[in-house]
Amino acid sequence: MSSIAKSLLWLTSLSLFALCVLGLAVALDLRPRVERPPTPTAAERAWADTWLRQQRQRHSRALAGQRLELTPSQVNLLLNTLLDRTGQGQALVQLETGRARLVASLKLPLDQLDGYLNLELELIEAETLPRVSAARLAGLPLPGSLAQALIEQALQALDRTQMVRAVGFTPERLTLQYDWYPEMLDRLSGGMIAADTLPLVLAAQEALVRYAAAQPRRQPLRLAEVLTHLLRTLPTEHAEPLAQHRAVILAVAAYVNGQSIRDPADVSTAPRPTLRRVHLRGRADLSQHFMTSAALAIQSTDALSNLVGWYKELADANGGSGFSFADMTANRAGIRFARLATENLTNAQYLQSAAQAGLTEADLMPPVDQLPEGLSQAQFDVQLGSDQRREYQRLIEQIDRTIEALPLYRQRENP
């Protein structure tokens, strides 16, 4: 998949997740607004694969003044190819003079919620990036201003990179004019962080890179030791603990997922640092789940973090790596850690004291060796029985009680 396509898909996903939270609170449609498109022919599939591969190769180097033109059929073929690779759903784009209409239908996995999340957006040309003029979610009309607000952060982040010069719509084609640099995704990540928080995040990232460079090279880093080091060394008189803790969480979340963050105003071509694997309970995937959920919790809400973790695990059960209650434990523990670190000053100061004594894996997350993992949809059904909702909730409550029993979390009550 090309870096451009990844960037646009990522930005769209952020918007969809925000809309998902709103949609789940109101209603789901019983039927998809977009019927599954015809299966691509062998020639169409070969064209899409070749196009995506060529874009990935082209964007391994700096390219200025690029122009991309796609016909409506090409746009829809590529969009649905990406959806097939990354999730459950289908979409339809209609192009007109100066505007475009996107309709997407997402099927929630395993039918835990019955129905489809249907999203309709109407986009109109603006000076650089298009803006939302109207929106519908699950058949309910939303003001364009609300939809615009939901994706404003993503659009501002993309705008701050100065990557996109113009987006144009005609009935015959979609046109994108842009500049590309290999570090563009790092700058885009930086643009997703509030301007007053970014310097602290960059400082935390720099400290983490220095720490990693000083550790034995053939061994993975340990998440508890990484957090201990940063929480011990980063707090300064220039920033209060809550802001410092948010910065640490965002920097470590990016790092464990193999990403780095760059100031979108930084136009240098300095190479990105070499990133090391980071383990929690002996596994890299658990550190990724833990820190990603913590980052989502401080950037949004616990509800969004839970939704993302739940969706990811159920999607894995429906043809991916399988549903894992160990991963869900890491998700829930990450959210709990974020609350301790950032919810109030008393708990933040307590966490810093705990870090001075040294955090351990047993502080962050309970053991997961005995939890079921790799469950297919059929195995998930058998494991949870006929009343899946109730049994799932019982297991999650059991996981939460185990997490709350850990000394790091048990000793702190909300003031």
Same-domain pairing of 337 and 388: yes
- Check whether 100 has a pLDDT greater than 90: yes
Mark which of 126, 158, 181 sits at the end of a domain. 181
Condensed to tens digits (0 to 9), the pLDDT of residues 117-159 reads 778 888 899 888 888 787 777 666 655 455 555 555 555 656 6
pLDDT at 312 (0 to 100) = 46
The answer as to whether 415 is a domain residue is no
CA distances from 384 to 115, 315, 337, 345 (A): 21, 16, 28, 40
Condensed to tens digits (0 to 9), the pLDDT of residues 310-357 reads 444 444 444 445 567 788 889 889 989 999 999 889 999 999 999 999
- Check whether 70 has a pLDDT greater than 80: yes
Percent of the chain at pLDDT > 90 equals 25
Of 131-135, 158-162, 292-296, least confident by mean pLDDT is 158-162
Mark which of 181, 202, 226 sits at the end of a domain. 181
Same-domain pairing of 74 and 190: no
Confidence of residue 94 (pLDDT cuts 50, 70, 90): very high
Same-domain pairing of 131 and 199: no
Cα–Cα dist 395/243, whole Å: 33
Of 40-54, 185-199, 204-218, least confident by mean pLDDT is 185-199
pLDDT at 366 (0 to 100) = 92
The residue that leads in pLDDT, 267 or 186, is 267
The answer as to whether 154 is a domain residue is yes
Same-domain pairing of 293 and 405: yes
Question: Whole domain around residue 134: which residue ranges?
Answer: 3-181
Same-domain pairing of 119 and 249: no
Mark which of 122, 148, 181 sits at the end of a domain. 181
Indicate the number of domains in the chain. 2
Cα–Cα dist 56/59, whole Å: 5
Same-domain pairing of 173 and 224: no
The answer as to whether 170 is a domain residue is yes
pLDDT at 394 (0 to 100) = 75
pLDDT at 107 (0 to 100) = 67
Same-domain pairing of 75 and 104: yes
Condensed to tens digits (0 to 9), the pLDDT of residues 368-383 reads 887 766 656 666 666 6
What angle is formed at CA 140 by the lines to CA 137 and CA 141, rounded to 5 degrees? 90
Residue-averaged pLDDT of the chain: 75
Confidence of residue 55 (pLDDT cuts 50, 70, 90): confident
Same-domain pairing of 122 and 266: no
Same-domain pairing of 157 and 235: no
pLDDT at 269 (0 to 100) = 62
Contacts 24+ apart (CB under 8 A), 116-119: 116/28, 116/29, 116/30, 116/31, 116/32, 116/33, 117/19, 117/20, 117/23, 117/24, 117/28, 117/29, 118/29, 118/32, 118/33, 118/34, 119/16, 119/19, 119/23
Prediction pTM value: 0.63
Same-domain pairing of 234 and 348: yes
Same-domain pairing of 97 and 207: no
pLDDT at 177 (0 to 100) = 87
Of 44-48, 112-116, 227-231, 372-376, least confident by mean pLDDT is 112-116
Of 10-19, 74-83, 198-207, least confident by mean pLDDT is 10-19
Same-domain pairing of 135 and 171: yes
Condensed to tens digits (0 to 9), the pLDDT of residues 387-403 reads 656 767 777 788 889 99
Of 58-67, 240-249, 282-291, least confident by mean pLDDT is 58-67
- Check whether 299 has a pLDDT greater than 80: no
Mean pLDDT over 26-38 rounds to 72
